[in-house]
């Protein structure tokens, strides 16, 4: 079977399965070297039947032998390095690129987040997004003015997360963190649930959950039901933002963000 030529940046990626052409929007995902939740991002992109709707193409930043600290967040988010990572995916023809790291995209404030997006766009001439930018856009899409934050980080990184939203006039009402310095992906869903409950405040319109390495897929629906308000997680918002741009219906957990996009259509059985 003849191979198709590689698509150019901006063209959708194609794969062939059993002789039938299957076409999904390709998205270049730049993630930190210690990212362990690729599977969760793919689950968030699935349709109601569980089939992935995006072709997520992952690459990782250079290994940095350090714990999860402010220093690490700065080391893994230098615009030139992120642009080089994005460029490494360019030949696959992504329709968008994403820097899928929360701390790395908020650690230098809103100006730093914008610099990351500019660097990725310069490397690959398609729309570029970051996780922190997606979280901010999700909060705004819900019309929220106050938030509570739940993070796995230490106090210093958590403070920078709150400062990122403060720059956008989104006010922090309460926060809770786990104080972890590594292996965040091993946090069980039950502990994430308890963390978000501890972070919530009656004065917060939304609870924002940071870190793309913190598992949230299993608990978002339960949290929204039990707290009676939107709960937005890093991985959820990242995929939601991309799907919103690509006009792909979001069907993952979290009724609040689902309601901001057109409802997915169930496909009839073949």
Identify the pLDDT of residue 2: 41
CA–CA distance, 95 with 243 (Å, rounded to integer): 11
Give the pLDDT confidence of 95-104 residue by residue, as tens digits: 999 999 999 9
Q: In the structure encoding, which two tokens stand for residue 161, read together?
A: 């997360």
What residues of the chain score a pLDDT lower than 50? Answer: 1-5, 13-20, 266-270
- 45 neighbors 58 (Cβ within 8 angstroms): no
Residues 6+ positions from 77 with CB-CB distance below 8 Å: 99, 101, 103, 104, 105, 107, 108, 112, 116
CA–CA distance, 198 with 179 (Å, rounded to integer): 14
Q: Taking the model in full, what pTM does it have?
A: 0.89
Residue 149 half-sphere exposure, CB side, CA atoms within 13 Å? 28
Reduce the DSSP state of residue 121 to 3 states and report it: helix
- 109 neighbors 163 (Cβ within 8 angstroms): yes
Identify the pLDDT of residue 91: 95
Of the candidates 226, 166, 174, the residue with the CA atom closest to the CA atom of residue 203? 174
Fold exhibited by the domain 25-258: Rossmann fold (3.40.50)
Identify the pLDDT of residue 22: 61
The ranges assigned to domains in the chain are 25-258
Give the pLDDT confidence of 32-62 residue by residue, as tens digits: 999 999 999 999 999 999 999 999 999 999 9
- 153 neighbors 178 (Cβ within 8 angstroms): yes
- 206 neighbors 18 (Cβ within 8 angstroms): no
Identify the pLDDT of residue 21: 52
Of the candidates 27, 104, 9, the residue with the CA atom closest to the CA atom of residue 61? 104
């Amino acid at each position: 079977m003849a191979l198709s030529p590689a698509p150019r940046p901006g063209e959708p990626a194609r794969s062939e399965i059993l002789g039938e052409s299957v076409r999904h929007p390709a998205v270049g995902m730049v993630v930190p070297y210690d990212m362990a939740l690729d599977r969760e991002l793919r689950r968030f992109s699935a349709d109601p039947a569980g089939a992935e709707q995006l072709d997520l193409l992952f690459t990782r930043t250079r290994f940095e032998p350090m714990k999860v600290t402010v220093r690490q967040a700065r080391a893994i988010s230098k615009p030139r390095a992120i642009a080089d990572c994005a460029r490494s995916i360019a030949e696959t023809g992504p329709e968008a690129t994403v820097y899928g790291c929360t701390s790395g995209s908020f650690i230098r404030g809103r100006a730093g987040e914008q610099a990351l997006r500019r660097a990725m766009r310069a490397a690959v001439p398609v729309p570029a997004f970051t996780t922190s930018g997606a979280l901010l856009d999700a909060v705004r899409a819900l019309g929220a003015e106050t938030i509570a934050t739940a993070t796995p980080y230490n106090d210093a990184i958590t403070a920078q997360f709150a400062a990122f939203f403060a720059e956008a006039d989104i006010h922090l009402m309460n926060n809770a963190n786990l104080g972890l310095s590594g292996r965040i992906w091993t946090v069980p869903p039950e502990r994430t649930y308890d963390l978000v409950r501890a972070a919530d405040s009656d004065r917060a319109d939304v609870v924002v959950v940071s870190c793309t390495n913190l598992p949230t897929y299993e608990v978002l629906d339960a949290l929204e039901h039990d707290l009676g308000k939107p709960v937005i997680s890093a991985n959820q918002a990242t995929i939601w933002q991309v799907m919103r741009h690509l006009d792909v219906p979001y069907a993952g957990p979290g009724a609040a963000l689902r309601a901001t996009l057109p409802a997915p259509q169930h496909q009839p059985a073949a």
